[in-house]
Amino acid sequence: MLTIGELASYAGVTVRAVRHYHAKGLLPEPARDHSGYRRYDAAAVVELIRIRTLAEAGVPLARVRELLRADEKEFAAAIADIDRRLRAEIRRRQRHRERIARLAAGDGLALPAEVVDYLDRLRALGIDERIVRAERDGWIPLAAHSPERVPEWMARKREQLADPRLVGFYRTLGRALDRTDDPGLEGLADELAAYISGLAEERGEDYVDDTDIEPALAELMDRLAFGTVPAARRLIELLERRGWTGWTKLERVEPAPRYE
């Protein structure tokens, strides 16, 4: 007969684990001898090793009790079920790892690869990083809301980046980010209004804003842009005097009076 310490040693577990399995009803507690100690037979060693093996394989203790009482056919079916669950868990954790890797990559979190390429293109053109971040923050809710339209919008963005006037505007905006004086922003507003009006004349007003973004979503994206690029809000106010309004969603308006 074995003491609890000897039983634990032979089965490769701790005494604490043996007591835990007793408490869970997995391993029957033997009667105590005349000295008040529990004594275990060889069968208890075999049973404890089976419990330990199942537990180490990731089988929940609630299922361990069920498996210990199952016949051969039931045991095989239960093990197959557990294996399926473990494989599903491995796939889920692999997806989590992929998301963590995307998080470490920066822009790749929550954005399609083609949008990430577009942001990298902006950086390669020398666009201020704050403008790139404003673009990125706007694309995150946009891509989540309408993922099926991302290829269409990206094609339009690539076309726009081929226009030196837009790239020039982006660079001018970058230089104006830290300006709070109206004279500097006035000139930028003139440049932006001229660019938009030129597009409207060349390609029609539908080309200026054909993204068909819901007003509430456009407003959200505007707030994100204004938070990252504070000068943008004042720039839009100045732009409205020149016949256009909006940041994400451009629209023609009656020019507001301009006072010198």
* pLDDT bucket at 49, cuts 50 / 70 / 90: very high
Pair 12, 52: CB distance under 8 Å: yes
Rounded to an integer, the average pLDDT of 192-210 is 76
For 81-98, the three-class secondary structure string (H helix, E strand, C coil) is HHHHHHHHHHHHHHHHHH
Alpha-carbon distance of 87 to 65, in angstroms, equals 22
| Confidence at residue 48, expressed as pLDDT on a 0 to 100 scale | 92
C-alpha triplet 20, 22, 24: angle, nearest 5°: 70
Alpha-carbon distance of 52 to 102, in angstroms, equals 38
pLDDT digits (tens, 9 = 90+) for 73-121: 888 888 888 888 888 888 888 877 766 665 555 666 678 889 989 998 9
| Confidence at residue 181, expressed as pLDDT on a 0 to 100 scale | 64
* Backbone angle region of 155, left / alpha / beta, with phi > 0 → left and psi within -120 to 50 → alpha: alpha
pLDDT digits (tens, 9 = 90+) for 141-172: 888 888 998 998 889 888 888 888 778 878 87
Alpha-carbon distance of 117 to 16, in angstroms, equals 56
pLDDT digits (tens, 9 = 90+) for 118-141: 998 999 998 988 888 888 888 888
How much is the CA Rg of the chain, to the nearest whole Å? 34
For the segment(s) 1-69, the CATH number from 1.20.140.10, 3.40.50.300, 1.10.1660.10, 1.10.1060.10 is 1.10.1660.10
Instruction: Name the nearest CA neighbour of 68 among 88, 48, 87.
Output: 48
